[in-house]
């Protein structure tokens, strides 16, 4: 009998350690109610240090390892998540340590997978310039597959902050100035990262950040404060976050900034009233790095204990990097400053994600996936194709581009053209920059040359920072000997990204002087711009024959640039942010409000007096939102509405024909803007409400039908309810925000009932206004054998 008990107990322990967990998800498809029951049983069995431990996210060390002093914490179940550690073998070891703990709760592994992991795509601002939701979703899905193969469960992306100040370095990480485009991109990226089931072996948990209004930091200075009306917050800065919730995003990250006097990480209005109560979000909320501790620097908390109290009570579930929760949580509960129910709720939000991710069912990653997934040719091909679609052709005087492949001698000028390290950026994932393709390499490969002594010549001109002119003479000499010159100038990688704010967003160093030297030769040339933000390029706009914006374009950027320069790919990108003429115009965005004394936009006259204008510059940007040229020409014709009058409950169909009148097949982005002529609350001069990217062959005419729903004509009233008023609406259709093609629509009645709920969304979900993505492909979680402990015991009793 003693042997039987020993054998039964051994098998019980074996099944617990290898095949399942005491509170484990025996069935990865448990219903929501069953998951909540499992979580309740687990929480009831946890002691307070274990609960506080779940709220702690530790950071790996400089080398991506778990710090030696933190390993015992993992083994004791006092860590909920770890970031900056990856590698299948390494993350599996972390899970084995976690399974040594009393509760055997798996650890959530996080990493900044912003726009690629090993295969690097263009920066998110560049991806957005594609205006291609399907391509953006595909890029996120590839990043997810690579990240999950190395044991990462959670990415801190997408960043969905609306951004209207290009001085802010983090504009490279978002989707630009527009509410609607940003909302659609947020949904596409969430779909790409998570798919339909983020427990799948090739998906990760997405994180909408930074909640909220971080993109409105004063003076464009990173981490700076934000003060705005609730209307501006709800109409402009919150809608992309709501769109992420609608797409099923599993987590949120708090912002570094304070908002109207309350730091976001301790802001109960944001984290509880809006996110939980209004939007019914049930995922987890994590602070940004040290953001809980930084409540002290904000002069909001006097010490670490208060910082933990404010953040916990506001609704920040997990603390990244700093350790105020685990250090002061017990004392805060004893003193009554934080309730145990508050802690339990935070723990529940975290465990819910772990259950949904299938970590209780199987916390390990198949170690064979890593080598089979990273940087594979299929992903590189996709990166090359998607990257070329993000480039924006700003100018092409006399159709100087594309370059003929039979060009006699081509000069490539600029250190950025040949610097492999500069193919990456502030958020490079785990990219191996040595594997990236530079522009010089891409051009040489395109022309089939192996050195720079023949058809292709190269001169550095100046290094990445261009801080001196010592080798300008050599660059000019090489240019004079060429038949065509490609001049690559722009920003070094550290000039954009987090903490990359700048007061001067023109070409840095002597880059502009280099372009002027090439210009003085009289040789035909094109400027290739490497940038993480809109830049002030007034001289280039006036003088350079051609300008191609390539952003920071990632692993396959060199090949993609060559594809576009030589015409194998027709550029189709459109600006997601306006390019200002100078920093004095900032913020400059197309959907501004009108004034009582607006300037005549058609004339833009500097001589008009007593108008809302500058006396030394035009109001308009250098290049407007939505702008971008092609190697072919498109004509927009026959704009028609299926009706000119609707009630507030009806939709209207907008039809337009797009005709390719040029000599090349191409893609165009049809953009639909709405202007509410008069409303009880003043509205922007126009707002993007629909878009669609379409292919049009030479000589072909394509008819595009887009739907504007009642929600697209409304706004938030004083009670933050969606409202549609009767009146006249101007519908503009074209290929940028300055389009003049117009039709009028009359709404005859107000909405008979409030549309939607009391939320902060000003951009309703559209059904037929964008490219039909279709259903995202999903894969089930990796299967694992499950044995019931009682069944094993019964079996042993029968046998023995």
Task: Tell me the sheet residues that pair with 728.
Answer: 746
Tell me, what's the pLDDT at 574? 98
d(CA 480, CA 170): 39
Q: For residue range 95-118, what is the model confidence (pLDDT) as tens digits?
A: 999 999 999 999 999 999 999 999
Q: For residue range 626-635, what is the model confidence (pLDDT) as tens digits?
A: 999 999 999 9
Angle, vertex CA 379, rays to CA 375 and CA 380, nearest 5: 75
Checking if the pLDDT of 367 tops 60, the result is: yes
Asked if residues 174 and 159 have their Cβ atoms less than 8 Å apart, the reply is yes
Checking if the pLDDT of 9 tops 70, the result is: no
d(CA 681, CA 560): 46
- Lookup: tokens for 332: 């805060």
Q: Does pTM top 0.85 for this prediction?
A: yes
d(CA 338, CA 347): 14
CA dihedral (159, 161, 162, 166) positive or negative: negative
Checking if the pLDDT of 458 tops 80, the result is: yes
- Selection from 278, 245, 282, 265 nearest residue 158 by Cα: 245
Checking if the pLDDT of 249 tops 70, the result is: yes
How large is the greatest C-alpha to C-alpha distance in the chain, in angstroms? 103
Q: For residue range 39-57, what is the model confidence (pLDDT) as tens digits?
A: 999 999 999 999 999 999 9
**Residue 553 in 3-state DSSP?**
coil
Q: Is 288 among the residues known to form the active site? A: yes
Q: For residue range 480-494, what is the model confidence (pLDDT) as tens digits?
A: 999 999 999 999 999
d(CA 556, CA 115): 13
d(CA 201, CA 156): 18
Q: Strands, E, within 362-506: which ranges?
A: 392-396, 410-413, 456-459, 484-490
Q: Give me the half-sphere count of Cα atoms (radius 13 Å) on the Cβ side of residue 111.
A: 30
Q: For residue range 420-438, what is the model confidence (pLDDT) as tens digits?
A: 999 999 999 999 999 999 9
Whole-number mean pLDDT of the chain?
A: 91
Q: For residue range 329-366, what is the model confidence (pLDDT) as tens digits?
A: 999 999 999 999 999 999 999 999 999 999 999 999 99
- Lookup: tokens for 556: 């396959």
Tell me, what's the pLDDT at 445? 97
How long is the chain? Answer: 800
For residues 150-162, give the mean pLDDT.
Answer: 98
- Lookup: tokens for 505: 């967003």
- Selection from 43, 67, 62, 63 nearest residue 54 by Cα: 43
Residue 52 dihedral angles phi and psi, to the nearest 5° = -65, -35
Which of 70, 112, 222, 288 is flagged as catalytic?
Answer: 288
Q: How confident is the model at residue 466 (pLDDT cuts 50, 70, 90)?
A: very high
**What number of other Cβ atoms are within 10 A of residue 104's Cβ?**
19
194: region left, alpha or beta (phi > 0 left; psi from -120 to 50 alpha): alpha
For residues 524-528, give the mean pLDDT.
Answer: 98
């Amino acid at each position: 009998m003693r042997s039987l008990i020993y054998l039964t107990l051994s098998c019980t322990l074996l099944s617990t350690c290898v095949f399942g967990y005491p509170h484990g998800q025996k069935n990865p498809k448990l219903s929501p109610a069953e998951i909540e029951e499992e979580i309740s049983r687990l929480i009831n069995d946890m002691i307070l240090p274990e609960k506080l431990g779940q709220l702690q996210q530790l950071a790996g060390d400089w080398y991506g390892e778990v710090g030696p002093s933190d390993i015992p914490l993992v083994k004791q179940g006092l860590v909920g998540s770890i970031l900056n550690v990856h590698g299948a073998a390494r993350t599996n070891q972390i899970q084995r340590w976690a399974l040594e703990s009393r509760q055997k709760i798996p650890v959530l592994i996080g990493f900044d997978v912003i726009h690629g992991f090993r295969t690097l795509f263009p920066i998110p601002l560049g991806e957005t310039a594609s205006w291609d939701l399907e391509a953006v979703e595909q890029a996120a899905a590839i990043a997810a597959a690579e990240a999950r193969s190395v044991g990462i469960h959670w990415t801190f992306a997408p960043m969905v902050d609306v951004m209207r100040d290009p001085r802010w370095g983090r504009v490279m990480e978002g989707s630009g100035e527009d509410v609607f485009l940003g909302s659609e991109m947020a949904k596409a990226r969430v779909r790409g990262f998570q798919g339909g089931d983020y427990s799948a072996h090739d998906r990760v948990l997405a994180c909408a950040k930074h909640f909220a209004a971080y993109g409105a930091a004063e003076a464009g200075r990173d981490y700076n404060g934000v003060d705005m009306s609730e209307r501006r917050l709800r109409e402009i800065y919150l809608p992309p976050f709501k769109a992420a919730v609608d797409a099923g995003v599993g987590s949120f990250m708090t912002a570094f900034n304070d908002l109207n006097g309350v730091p976001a990480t301790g802001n109960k209005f944001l984290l509880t009233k809006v996110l939980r109560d209004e939007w019914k979000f049930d995922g987890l909320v994590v602070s940004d790095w040290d953001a809980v501790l930084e409540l002290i620097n904000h002069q909001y908390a006097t010490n670490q204990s208060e910082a933990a109290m404010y953040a916990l009570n506001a609704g920040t579930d997990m603390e990244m990097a700093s350790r105020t929760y685990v250090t002061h949580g017990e004392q805060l509960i004893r003193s009554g400053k934080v309730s145990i129910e508050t802690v339990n709720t935070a723990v529940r939000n975290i465990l819910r994600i772990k259950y949904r991710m299938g970590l209780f069912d199987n916390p390990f990653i198949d170690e064979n996936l890593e080598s089979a997934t990273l940087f594979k040719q299929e992903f590189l091909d996709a990166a090359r194709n998607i990257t070329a679609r993000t480039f924006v052709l700003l100018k092409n005087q006399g159709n100087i581009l594309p370059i003929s492949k039979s060009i006699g001698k081509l000069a490539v000028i600029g250190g950025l053209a040949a610097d492999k390290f500069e193919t990456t950026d502030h958020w490079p994932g785990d990219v191996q920059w040595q594997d990236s393709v530079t522009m010089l390499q891409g051009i040489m490969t395109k022309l089939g040359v192996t050195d720079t002594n023949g058809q292709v010549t190269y001169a550095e001109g100046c290094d990445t920072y261009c801080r001196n002119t010592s080798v300008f003479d050599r660059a000019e000499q090489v240019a004079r000997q060429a038949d065509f010159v490609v001049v690559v100038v722009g920003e070094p990688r550290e000039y954009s990204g987090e903490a990359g704010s700048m007061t001067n967003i023109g070409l840095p160093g002597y880059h502009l002087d280099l372009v002027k030297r090439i210009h003085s030769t009289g040789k035909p040339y094109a400027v290739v711009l490497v940038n993480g933000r809109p830049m002030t390029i007034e001289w280039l706009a006036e003088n350079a024959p051609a300008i191609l914006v390539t952003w920071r374009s990632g692993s396959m950027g060199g090949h993609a640039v060559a594809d576009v320069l030589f015409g194998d790919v027709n550029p189709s990108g459109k600006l997601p942010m306006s390019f200002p003429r100078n920093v004095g115009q900032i913020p400059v965005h197309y959907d501004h409000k009108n004034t009582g004394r607006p300037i005549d936009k058609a004339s833009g006259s500097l001589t008009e007096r007593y108008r809302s204008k500058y006396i030394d510059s035009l109001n308009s940007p250098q290049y407007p939102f939505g702008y971008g040229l092609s190697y072919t020409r498109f004509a927009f014709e026959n704009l028609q509405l299926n009706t000119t009058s609707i009630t507030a409950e009806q939709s209207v169909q907008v039809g337009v024909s797009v005709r390719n009148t040029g000599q090349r097949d191409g893609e165009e982005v049809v953009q639909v803007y709405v202007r509410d002529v008069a409303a009880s609350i003043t509205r922007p001069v126009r707002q993007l409400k629909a878009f669609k990217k379409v292919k049009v062959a030479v000589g072909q005419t394509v008819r595009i039908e887009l739907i504007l729903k009642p929600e697209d004509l409304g706004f938030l009233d004083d009670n933050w309810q969606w409202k549609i008023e009767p009146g006249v609406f101007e519908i503009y259709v074209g290929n940028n925000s300055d389009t003049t093609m117009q039709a009028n629509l009359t709404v005859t009645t107000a909405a008979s009932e409030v549309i939607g709920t009391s939320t902060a969304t000003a951009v309703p979900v559209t059904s037929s206004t964008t490219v039909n993505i279709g259903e995202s492909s999903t894969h089930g979680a990796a299967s694992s054998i499950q044995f019931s402990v009682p069944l094993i015991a019964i079996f042993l009793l029968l046998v023995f």
